[in-house]
Structure 1
Amino acid sequence: MQAENFVAHRGWRQHYPENTLIAFEQAIQAGAVNIELDIQLSADHVPYVFHDANLMRMCQREGLIWDYLSAELDTFFASESYRLGNAFAHNPMCRLSDIVDLLQANPAVNAYVEIKEESLTQFGEQIVVDAVINALRPVASRCILISFELSALRLALHEGWQRFGAVFDVWPDPQSAALVELQPEVLFCDRNCVPIEVDLRTLPWPILIYEVGSKIEADDWFARGAVAVESFLVGELLREYNLKSA
């Protein structure tokens, strides 16, 4: 097993506010070479690393992320206090540009960048896809665009983006025309949607399983043919597989 077989889901979320710079920095320090993050847009179309459209869970603020300009969002704190208390009370929100800087500083790290449905619905595919791929251009070779919305990925493909994955919470048709067109490097599949009889090694696309919470569970998925697992506990898994130095 190698570090490449593990993905830090929203960073090292077990101990840090999800989708924030500190969560990704700490995941990388723990040995992660693959990070996964979510993208929503601000009112002025700036891409932020953020899972929910609603700000309350992460920032204890009313409203939706696109109710605010980027200059306002930069004054908010993504502390995830309901889960982590006051430990990260002054932790800033993370722009996608911060992740570009992080990747430039860590050339061995790759990022799976998920374009979220809520922003696609709010702004339309063209605005969201353009905002994301334009921000990522400096590190394009190490960024894999992923989404539940395959039409958004197809738009990025037609605009010249080259690396793709797809995300599913229901078992997909691996022979679908959209997947054949995209030629995804990996399919992210919810662990609860995989048919028990399926041998993942027989499928035309590599399968990554999310959300995996223990080494026992990871071992089972690797035995079934998963190429990687995604976890909020990436540091713990890397340590248990002796892939973390400390």
Structure 2
Amino acid sequence: MSESPAIIAHRGSACDHPENTLSAFAAAIAAGADAVELDVQIAACGTPMVIHDALLERTTGQPGLVQELTAAEIGAYSAHEPDRFGQAFLGEPIPSLATACHFLAKHDGLLVFIEIKEETLRRHALPAIMQRVAEDSAILGNNRVVISFVDEAIQVAGSLYGLRVGWVLPAFDPGTIARARTLAPEFLFCDRQRLPEGNAPLPSGCWNWAVYEVTDADEALDLAARGVNWIETMTPAALRRGLAQP
């Protein structure tokens, strides 16, 4: 049997809590996640906010665009995901990156993957984004990894700010793997649906493989046998229980 891979809580324990919120992160930590992944969009004032979508409607039920609102204005929204949870989490705030990192830093050894979303990179200058992300996550020290689909973003994060980085693969083909060898990130993230079929080992390199979205323990172990070190899941508690089964 393959050694169990480490678990990344995808936007926290997003199966049973509003994604990218402190309550989702707390639940993930309680479930025994080894790491948490969160998403960053940049507010109009330049503040990194922890939210996946550029639009606020899916997670708050209210219209609005993150890049057109200040952090203070975004703070008035409730990220309770009414379509999924009704009013059960009403009042759950959208945290700033600084707030989230101060919360997560209380948990020794927890790794935090900070994904910079493509939409925000199209609206703000990349060096300014990375400087602010580096500053607002500084409390995490070496327990933070900046990830993105945009290869230039991780190049800036690594070369200018000395941050650990991971590349989220936009495709799985020889050209993309060749680009990964040039970028030499510490982590390569890939959607499970993009992986080649079969049981062949994934391409090796200087990186650790992280695959998402995985909820089944048997699949996680099969991926580990192919060289996957990290499994990203929105169901960290259930996956941890499944991996603990003999």
Query: TM-score of the superposition, structure 1-length normalised?
Result: 0.91
Aligned residues: 240
Q: 1:167 is aligned with what amino acid?
A: V
Contact 2:201 2:225 in 1 (8 A): no
- Cα separation, 1, equivalents of 2:64 and 2:202: 44
State the SS of the aligned residue for 2:105.
helix
Shift of 1:236: 0.8
Looking at structure 1, the residues matched to 198 and 237 of structure 2 have their Cα atoms a distance apart, in angstroms, of: 30
Q: Which letter maps to 1:61? A: Q
CA distance change for structure 1 residues 201 and 171 in 2, over 3 Å: closer, same or farther?
A: closer
- Hey, what's the Cα distance between the residues in 1 that align with 2:21 and 2:104? 14
Q: RMSD of aligned C-alpha atoms? A: 1.8
Residues 5-64 of structure 1: CA distance to partner in whole angstroms, max 9, x if unpaired? 111000000100000111001100111120001000111011111100000000112121
Q: Does 1:5 pair with 2:6? A: yes
1:100 and 2:101 aligned = yes
Matches within 5 A, 1:67-106: 67-106=68-107
Range with greater deviation from structure 2 (167-176 or 49-58): 167-176
Q: Distance in 2 between matches of 1:41 and 1:33?
A: 26
Q: Which runs of 5+ in 2 are unaligned?
A: none
Q: Which residue of 2 aligns with 1:224?
A: 226
CA separation of 1:233 and 1:49: change in aligned 2, threshold 3 A: same
SS in 1 for 2:193: helix
Letter of the 1:102 counterpart:
F
Matched, 1:159 2:160: yes
For 2:240 and 2:199, how far apart are their aligned partners in 1?
A: 27
Distance in 1 between the 2:95 and 2:42 partners?
A: 12
Distance in 2 (alpha carbons) for counterparts of 1:160 and 1:182: 15
The SS at the match of 2:177 is: coil
Cα 1:149–1:202 shift into 2, 3 Å: closer
Which letter does structure 1 place at the counterpart of 2:124?
Answer: F
Normalising by structure 2, report the TM-score. Answer: 0.91
Percent of aligned positions that are identical: 32
* Paired letter, 1:83: R
- Residue in 1 aligned with 2:210? 208
- Name the CA distance, whole Å, in 2 between partners of 1:162 and 1:66: 24
Structure 1 residue identity aligned to 2:234: F
Other structure's SS at 1:134 match: helix
Which amino acid is 2:75 matched to? D
